[in-house]
Amino acid sequence: MSKFGESLAFIKSMPRESIYHTKNEEGFNKKYLEASSSMRNTLDQQKIAAWQKNAHHKSQFQRYVFGNYYENLYASFLFIYEIELILDEIEYDGISFNRANALINMCSLLSVTSTNMMILIDDEEHLFSKKYSLCNDLINMAKNIYDATRLIYSISSNDMPLSDTFMVTSYDGIEARLSCKYIQNEISVIKLFCILAMMQSTPMCSAGVTFVAKTIMEQLREVLYNKRIMRMVVDSDLYGNSSEPHTSTRLKIFFAMGNSDRYCIRLDLPHEGENNIHLNMNEPAHKRATGFPFTETEYSEVFEICKDSTLFDKLFYRQDDLYWFRSNYSATIKSIDNCEAQKHALEEFRHRRGHITILNNNEEHLDMVTEFSKAFAEMMIDYLGTSIYGNASYFDDDIYKYILFRDYIFDVIIRIKERELLNHMQVRDCPPPVISKYDKRTEETKRKLLFCKYIKEKFPDDKELILYTEKDGGLCDFFSNCLDRIDQLGL
């Protein structure tokens, strides 16, 4: 049994009966547990007994069992499995009211179980924070799909002509495909935290791995709230031939914000200029390091350095109750006149927020992080079914460009659909301008030419994308081909 399957079997074997069951649970157990009927016999009972006797783990274990932590963690994995089955159905067979209804229900259940699981990871005296709920934006995206489908369903149920109220366009399939992709990217956040939760609550991981997993979760929970993970990469040369690692980076997490900003979080070993094991963050688009966002706790300190709100607003923006560094942070600091002390204080603050210490530098801690990276990669590969090993020193710009290209396609599809909708709707006392079929074809031709130019400028070495620019065909088929290419890259 795999490390992930062994840990999942331990979680499922806890003495409290789960109240959550789904129609595909048997398939879930078959996929991940291999032989669920005999799973207790596959576990290392001595390892479990020793783990439960440990004073810290004993207290933690009792709180987890009687707080239904294991039940909620198991159910979170189960609901993710069900959601992905629904997304596959939508991608291959199209959206339907039943699928949209099942999707929103499963997303709501995942929100409940993952929130309960996250609360129990912390000490009980901690107050509830909305950051425990990692599924807020996920539910909103699923609700948008559900609401649009319900409108179509209600119209067809009342025998109302779609042309009078709502139009189904040739781009609906692509829009649903991209919406499902964004939901999948958001689910990746939940997968990440479920794996981190599993690593700190089963005897299949060492104390060092458990500590690193918990510390990383504490640091990333707020940062990744309402975000979409695009890719995770674990250094492929963790056990190279040289005595020194070939790169300081152990783990990369690429994620996107709702405002189209893209970031990469790295778990780094000590390197020149930073002597501790730490997390840092960079912006692939701007090819520069940035700082982790900060809360109201640090607001007063930073505002005191800035002296006024004008400079503060030039340096930071607020989203999801956090203050984020703007992309032109360094350039803005350099433009400050006649105040070297202020410049130094702002640079020092960015450096401090740009290097979040996980552990200090010693041989034991280096081994712990390497062991964590290996265990994390093994569990994620077992869970995802695809490798996440890669060259952690690889430049991130190409990944960013493909992700941005996909979002660009989505934005254009939404605008085209809005225009087609206006062309077919009759708004009382305010008729929309009519776009003729010839104008529509001309508009699509112009957009395709612009996209072809964009591809040749941004992806000159991608022969497959370049080939699409040379083929005849409509804009809809062109978009489908481009998205197929991006899917091949695992994004």
Pair of tokens at residue 172: 């609906």
pTM for this predicted structure: 0.88
Using CA atoms, how far residue 356 sits from 92, 134, 191, 219, 261, in Å, is 43, 22, 23, 8, 21
* E strand spans, 221-378: 228-235, 249-256, 262-268, 277-283, 288-290, 316-319, 322-325, 356-359
Q: What is the DSSP string of 193-204?
A: HHHHHHHTSSTT
d(CA 363, CA 92): 50
Query: Given this model, what pLDDT does residue 348 score?
Result: 92
In a domain, 194, yes or no: yes
Nearest to 60 by CA among 194, 211, 220, 190: 211
Query: Given this model, what pLDDT does residue 461 score?
Result: 92
421 with 298, same domain: the answer is no
In a domain, 410, yes or no: yes
In a domain, 333, yes or no: yes
CATH number of the domain where residue 305 is located: 3.30.70
Which ranges in 362-490 belong to alpha helices (H)? 363-384, 397-424, 437-458, 463-469, 475-488
Query: Given this model, what pLDDT does residue 478 score?
Result: 94
Query: Given this model, what pLDDT does residue 162 score?
Result: 47
Which of 300, 334, 354 is the last residue before a domain boundary? 354
36 with 89, same domain: the answer is yes
Length of the chain: 491
Pair of tokens at residue 482: 């481009």
98 with 187, same domain: the answer is yes
> How many independent structural domains does the chain possess?
3
In a domain, 274, yes or no: no
44 with 154, same domain: the answer is yes
202 with 131, same domain: the answer is yes
**Model pLDDT for residues 439-488, shown as the tens digit of each residue:** 777 888 899 999 999 999 999 999 999 999 999 889 999 999 999 999 88
Pair of tokens at residue 324: 């984020």
Query: Given this model, what pLDDT does residue 164 score?
Result: 45
In a domain, 483, yes or no: yes
57 with 157, same domain: the answer is yes
In a domain, 404, yes or no: yes
Which of 186, 202, 220 is the last residue before a domain boundary? 220
Query: Given this model, what pLDDT does residue 53 score?
Result: 67
Pair of tokens at residue 467: 């080939």
309 with 452, same domain: the answer is no
350 with 410, same domain: the answer is no
Q: What is the DSSP string of 133-161?
A: ---HHHHHHHHHHHHHHHHHHHHHHTT--
> Helix (H, G, I), strand (E, B), or coil: what is residue 465?
helix
Asked if 53 and 109 touch (Cβ cutoff 8 Å), the reply is no
Which of 354, 377, 407 is the last residue before a domain boundary? 354
106 with 189, same domain: the answer is yes
17 with 143, same domain: the answer is yes
Residue 350: CB partners within 8 Å, gap ≥ 6? Answer: 290, 291, 325, 329, 330
In a domain, 120, yes or no: yes
Using CA atoms, how far residue 180 sits from 28, 203, 325, 340, 478, in Å, is 20, 35, 30, 50, 19
18: containing domain: 3-220
162 with 28, same domain: the answer is yes
R_g of the chain, CA atoms, integer Å: 25
74 with 160, same domain: the answer is yes
In a domain, 270, yes or no: no
Residues of the chain with pLDDT under 70: 1, 15-17, 35-44, 46, 51-58, 123-130, 153-169, 238-247, 259-260, 392-396, 420-438
DSSP-derived letter for residue 37 is G
Query: Given this model, what pLDDT does residue 184 score?
Result: 92
